[in-house]
A and B are shown apart, each in its own frame.
Chain A
Amino acid sequence: MAVKPHDGGEEDRSVRRRPGSSAQTASWLDSGGMPNRTDKVASADRGPLVSLRGISKGFPNVQANDAVDLDLLRGEIHALLGENGAGKSTLMKILYGFYRADKGEIVVDGERETIRSPLDARRLRIGMVFQTFTLIPALSVAENIALYLPHLPAIPSRAQIAGQIREVSARYGLEVNPEATVRDLCIGDQQKVEVLKLLLADARVLIFDEATRVLAPHEIECLFEVLRRLRDDGYSIVFITHKLREVLACADRITVMRRGRIAGTLSRCEATERALVLLMFEASAPAEVRLAPRRRTESATPSLELQGVFTRARSRQAGLEEIDLVLHPGEILGVAGVSGNAQRELGDVILGLLPCAAGRKLLFGEDATRWSAGRIRRRGVGFVPEEPLAMGVVPWMTVLQNAALGDLEKYSRCGGLALDWSAVRADVERSYGALGLSAPGLHTPAKALSGGNLQRAILARELGRLPRLVVASYPTRGLDVVSATSARRLLTTIRDSGASVLLISEDLDELYSLSDRLIVLFEGRIARTALPAEITREEIGHLMTGTGCGHA
């Protein structure tokens, strides 16, 4: 077994479980004040734990990282902030051995290291929690964690592993039942398992890639509490995000990246929302979303009407139960809920992808209960999918081809024997222009676009054809501030032009700022319908999680 010298041997494992020695912890307490705590640790120790020097990484169309320097200190929460495509994830994937840098070096604990694969990274005790978890749903929590342990004995002792899990989870507030099957856990608990996995495998550097994206508001606060406790025990944490509020809530130091370069590093006490925004976007900070007031047209026929709709439950998820819902032209109806409470079913029923097991669906005043997805789309219903790449486009097709797929009948010539690509191009450019967006390379395959550009391509395709009803599922999830703002503005623009929007989102800020009316979905039922002004965030939070009394 090739164990690197600095990795130590078997004998000091128990000591190394706590990266920060007790002496070190004590010195923090002595130093007292929070703001300069990180400086203390840095000087008290042998320099930064991880140093990235001059890291460059190019992909075929883009320079993702350009001579990036970054220091990660012992016992700090270091936020890596930046727009989508700023190169944050790439940088951390280089540290984790997922990509190899074209240039630059990585120094861990004072020694130059070559990290060729995640295996090398794990040997250096660097661990990463990905956006999409890497757990095996059919196995138990303990089994998933055992799989990841570096020195798993031939016949693992369940009791011992479960004991370790309980010990570590109690210490950091990561309580999970080791015997539970991962499939049955909610997303927040699955993330806890991911973190436990790294801790038990002895990681001292923990990288969180957009960790809060999948979490409900109260789960985010729990995660921050965990991060703080880990930091206080000397773990070094990198927290990749593009949300200012989260950075300000939990980070000790904040490094802002912009177009593959470091725009600046601030300590928590220097950082203000304004300073960070300026770093993220240079001088061109995005204007605040100022939304036009609602201009609701009380039309005789609603765009959409669901009457007592049920759907069959898919696997373990709830199906829709007795949904009654009316959506008028010129109205945005916000749907709040923790994901997995049949939001997807609601969208799919409207789009005709999922049959109603009972109940009626009316579109623009006509009974559309049994219409095919194609017919519904031809009637002017558009969609913004929750996973753009997996549900909205054909990944290897170009932007142009994907745009053509949106409305093929329109571009067919000679009864479909030929396609008018110049018309497609003209339409794409026109819709990008109308939406105030700049068009990306039209011959770029969809999978090569950044998250923001991909979402723009879908918005241009779906909103460019002037739909009368749009089902928008998490339209700003994973988007940076600028992209999210422009996406939101687009939704209000089409609302003002008389279209109806069903906005499914987990972002309460977004729901409050855009929605004319709100519904809360819980376990497939509408828990409450209200005007945004009538209901507080706390009430919504309780309705979303099925806790509390609802009508408080």
Chain B
Amino acid sequence: MRAVLRYVLILVIALLAYGAVLLMAGKDPVKAYGDIVNFTLGTPYGLSEVIVRMIPLLLTAVAVALPSRLGLINVGGEGQLYMGAWLATWGAITFTALPAIAFVPLLIVLGFVGGGSWAAVAGLLRAKGWVNETISTLLLNYVAPLIVGYFVYGAWRSAESSAFPQSPAFPAAARLPSLPGTRIHLGLLLALGVLVLYWFGVQRTKWGLRMRAIGGNPEAARRLGIPLGWYIVVVLFVAGGIAGLAGMAEVSALHGRLRSGFSPGYGFVGFMISWLAGGSPLGMLLMSFLLAVIFAGGSLLQLTQGVPFAAVNVLMALILFIVLAQLRFGRRRKA
């Protein structure tokens, strides 16, 4: 109950602060918020757009929550998302003749491996005790979009639309199926499935128990013979793979081709969602829905109020600040 109240309070404070920002920019905050709610929750199309936004947010949130059970901080969701999209794109434009029944599983595997290997690099560095995973995943975020950029500006640049730096279009069989009439795609099932597996894996299986043991007391875990390094690498691989799925779904289902800068920072927002929810599956579901509303609303404000899309970043940053301040506060009171 108190947790719910806390979230509501966070939201109210953030919305008030953002309203002040809108006022200073000469916009009408009441109308802006009204538009957001009406558009996103008031129309079936709006709602479907919210769910489309929610898919990558939920996946990248799980990609943060999973390693956090081990006490690892994965800030690299964004980079892992890009690398998943990159490897999936390679598959899509290489094996153009495959039927859809084979293509979709292939893309899932490639997206997973792409993001996973990217995170496993950080995992290896950590397991060897060389580089802290927070630093390495954060820095790898800057490298991944550059790799994507290198390919879409170079080797993969589409011939038919050379004005834009983008890959050739995916063959129709390499597009994830969508719900007819909407942009909601197979990624939703993937995301929900991953969420359930995350809950089950952490709470019910022996690996989950070991992971929680490592997170709870690495020293004892080591003495109990749990191979810490192995767990670090594998868990980061799986987490990165989940973020990679988000990237794969974005390019395959929505864009149909790889573009540079296709993600508006989903990986970072996923990090925020995971921390807001404290890694709880239900919390992540709710928070990703909420932030998807803000995301979808941001696109709308751009049209109706002339507020640049980047302005939603201000709102999200405000939420994050307030959450962090709250956490600090709560901890001091407990001590």
Closest Cβ of chain B to A314, distance in Å, is: 14
A416-B206 in contact (CB<8A): yes
Closest Cβ of chain A to B228, distance in Å, is: 9
Q: Which of B206, B207, B213, B224 contacts A411 (CB 8 A)?
A: B206
- A487 vs B139: C-alpha distance when bound (angstroms): 51
Closest Cβ of chain A to B177, distance in Å, is: 29
Q: Which of A375, A397, A411, A419 contacts B216 (CB 8 A)?
A: A397
* B-contacting 9-mer, from A224-232, A261-269, A387-395, A436-444: A387-395
Known: A396-B216, A417-B204. A391 touches B209 (CB 8 A): no
Q: Which of A391, A411, A419 contacts B220 (CB 8 A)?
A: A391
Q: Is A374 an interface residue (CB 8 A)?
A: yes
Closest Cβ of chain B to A473, distance in Å, is: 11
Q: Is B225 an interface residue (CB 8 A)?
A: yes
Q: Is B227 an interface residue (CB 8 A)?
A: yes
- A412 vs B220: C-alpha distance when bound (angstroms): 20
Known: A390-B217, A393-B217, A405-B209. A418 touches B204 (CB 8 A): yes
- A396 vs B217: C-alpha distance when bound (angstroms): 9
Dominant secondary structure of chain A at its interface with chain B: helix
Contacts of A394 in B (CB 8 A): 212-213, 216-217, 220-221
Known: A406-B224, A416-B207. A390 touches B216 (CB 8 A): no
- A397 vs B210: C-alpha distance when bound (angstroms): 11
Closest residue of A by beta carbon distance from B216: A394
A377-B225 in contact (CB<8A): yes
Closest Cβ of chain B to A240, distance in Å, is: 24
Closest Cβ of chain B to A161, distance in Å, is: 31
Q: Is B331 an interface residue (CB 8 A)?
A: no
- A409 vs B224: C-alpha distance when bound (angstroms): 12
Q: Is B223 an interface residue (CB 8 A)?
A: yes
Q: Is A378 an interface residue (CB 8 A)?
A: yes
B223-A412 in contact (CB<8A): no
Dominant secondary structure of chain B at its interface with chain A: helix
- A521 vs B284: C-alpha distance when bound (angstroms): 54
- A412 vs B225: C-alpha distance when bound (angstroms): 16
- A378 vs B223: C-alpha distance when bound (angstroms): 12
Q: Is B28 an interface residue (CB 8 A)?
A: no
Contacts of B206 in A (CB 8 A): 408-409, 411-412, 416, 419
Q: Is A383 an interface residue (CB 8 A)?
A: yes
Closest residue of B by beta carbon distance from A411: B206
B216-A373 in contact (CB<8A): no
B220-A351 in contact (CB<8A): no
Closest Cβ of chain B to A462, distance in Å, is: 10
Closest residue of B by beta carbon distance from A458: B220
B222-A373 in contact (CB<8A): yes
Closest residue of B by beta carbon distance from A461: B224
- A14 vs B236: C-alpha distance when bound (angstroms): 62
- A394 vs B212: C-alpha distance when bound (angstroms): 9
- A383 vs B204: C-alpha distance when bound (angstroms): 27
Contacts of A418 in B (CB 8 A): 204-205
Contacts of B205 in A (CB 8 A): 416-419
Closest Cβ of chain B to A135, distance in Å, is: 21
Contacts of B204 in A (CB 8 A): 417-419
A397-B212 in contact (CB<8A): yes
- A496 vs B209: C-alpha distance when bound (angstroms): 34
- A373 vs B231: C-alpha distance when bound (angstroms): 14
Contacts of B226 in A (CB 8 A): 374, 405
A392-B216 in contact (CB<8A): no
Q: Which of A400-435 contact B (CB under 8 A)?
A: 401, 404-406, 408-409, 411-412, 416-419
Q: Which of B207, B212, B219 contacts A391 (CB 8 A)?
A: B219
Q: Which of B209, B221, B222 gathers most chain A CB within 10 Å? A: B209
Q: Is A211 an interface residue (CB 8 A)?
A: no
Contacts of A417 in B (CB 8 A): 204-205
Q: Is A385 an interface residue (CB 8 A)?
A: yes
B223-A385 in contact (CB<8A): yes
- A248 vs B210: C-alpha distance when bound (angstroms): 47
Q: Which of B209, B217, B219, B225 contacts A378 (CB 8 A)?
A: B225
Q: Is A244 an interface residue (CB 8 A)?
A: no
Closest Cβ of chain A to B198, distance in Å, is: 14
Contacts of B225 in A (CB 8 A): 352, 372-378
Q: Which of A353, A372, A419 contacts B209 (CB 8 A)?
A: A419
- A417 vs B206: C-alpha distance when bound (angstroms): 7
Closest Cβ of chain A to B193, distance in Å, is: 16
Can you spell out 26 A-B residue pairs with CB atoms less than 8 angstroms apart?
Answer: A372-B227, A373-B223, A373-B225, A377-B224, A377-B225, A378-B225, A385-B220, A385-B223, A392-B223, A393-B217, A394-B213, A394-B217, A395-B216, A395-B217, A396-B216, A397-B216, A405-B209, A405-B210, A405-B221, A406-B224, A408-B209, A408-B210, A412-B206, A416-B206, A416-B207, A418-B205
- The interface of chain A, by Cβ under 8 A from chain B, is 351-353, 372-378, 383, 385, 390-397, 401, 404-406, 408-409, 411-412, 416-419
| Contacts beyond the supplied A352-B225, A373-B223: 16 A-B pairs with Cβ under 8 Å | A353-B223, A373-B227, A377-B224, A383-B223, A391-B217, A391-B219, A392-B220, A392-B223, A394-B212, A394-B220, A397-B213, A405-B220, A405-B221, A411-B206, A417-B204, A419-B206
